[in-house]
Amino acid sequence: MPKDRTPTRIQKKNRAAILEAALNVFSANGFRGATVDQIASEAGLSKPNLLYYFPSKVDMHNALLAQLMDTWLDPLREMDEDGEPLTEIMAYVRRKLQMSRDFPRESRLFANEIVQGAPRIHDALNHDLKTLVDEKTKLLERWMADGKIARVHPYHLLFSVWSLTQHYADFDVQVRAILGDEDPFDGADPFLETLYLRLLTP
């Protein structure tokens, strides 16, 4: 879509519909398995109409990932250095778990990108993500040094939060196959609270 014009209401609506459709297709099929034809069909638009807004599937994928990175970093940004450490860490765990509940497609999109070597967000991982994680691990280390939480490896603590919360989105089919009608998030919250409080309470 030409960038020197203010988009009309219809253009904004079509762009949003395309990105919503692309999210569905990419999260289900991965970048390599997705096609422009699939996305156009999902969006209810002709392929030429879709390509007016996004010239390629790379452009659609990049647009989704750009939106996703901020969403992905926000829960960690909210960890407050002036808060009570165990409360702040558990609030972070719950925010990550809620993201898996509310944004499962985005989680799978991110996971697919990482599995493929992160070719489209490599710079963001090495700069935006690493800078934030380094900042928060220093905060965790300070809390440990002050005796406010037990001493553990701070980076691996964050890795464990990511894996234990994102699992419910990325492996949703497996989780629900095992649990049946039980809502997996109902049991996840108290389990993770017990796990991390026992791990981190001095």
What does the pLDDT look like over 115-129, one tens digit per residue? 889 888 888 899 999
Residues sharing a CB contact under 8 Å with residue 18, sequence separation 6 or more, in sequence order: 39, 43, 45, 50, 53, 54, 60
Contact yes or no for 76/92 (Cβ under 8 A): yes
What pLDDT is recorded for position 6? 73
| Per-residue pLDDT at 11 | 87
Return the half-sphere exposure (C-beta side, CA atoms, 13 A cut-off) of residue 1: 16
Residue 49 CA, distance from chain mean position: 29
On the question of pLDDT at 10 being above 90, the answer is no
For residue 127, what pLDDT is reported? 92
User: Angle CA(75)–CA(76)–CA(81) in degrees, nearest 5?
Assistant: 120
Domains of the chain, by residue range, sit at: 1-55, 65-200
The model's pLDDT over 15-53, given as tens digits with 9 standing for 90+, comes to 999 999 999 999 989 888 999 999 999 999 999 999 999
Cα angle value 165/170/171 (rounded, 5°)? 95
Cα separation, 172 vs 170, in Å, equals 6
Percentage of residues in the chain with pLDDT exceeding 90?
Answer: 79
* Per-residue three-class SS string for 115-178: HCCCCCCHHHHHHHHHHHHHHHHHHHHHHHHCCCCCCCCHHHHHHHHHHHHHHHHHCHHHHHHH
Judged against a pLDDT cut of 80, whether residue 4 lies above it is answered with no
List, as own/partner pairs, every contact residues 185-191 make where C-beta atoms lie below 8 angstroms and the sequence separation is at least 24, other chains included: 185/97, 185/100, 185/101, 188/97, 189/94, 189/97
**What is the architecture, at CATH level 2, of domain 65-200?**
Orthogonal Bundle (1.10)
Please tell me the distance from the alpha carbon of residue 88 to that of residue 143, in angstroms, as a whole number: 11
Residue 141 has pLDDT above 60, yes or no: yes
| Burial category of 46 from C-beta neighbours within 10 Å (exposed 0-12, middle 13-18, buried 19 and up) | exposed
What pLDDT score was predicted for residue 142?
A: 98
- What pLDDT was estimated at residue 3? 56
The CATH number given to 1-55 is: 1.10.10.60
The continuous run of DSSP H or E covering 87 comes out as: helix 85-102
- Say whether pLDDT at 96 is over 70: yes
What's the chain's average pLDDT?
Answer: 93
Whole-number pLDDT of residue 133: 97
158-174: pLDDT as tens digits: 999 999 999 999 999 99
**99 Cβ contact partners less than 8 Å away, ≥ 6 residues apart:** 71, 72, 75, 106, 107, 165, 169
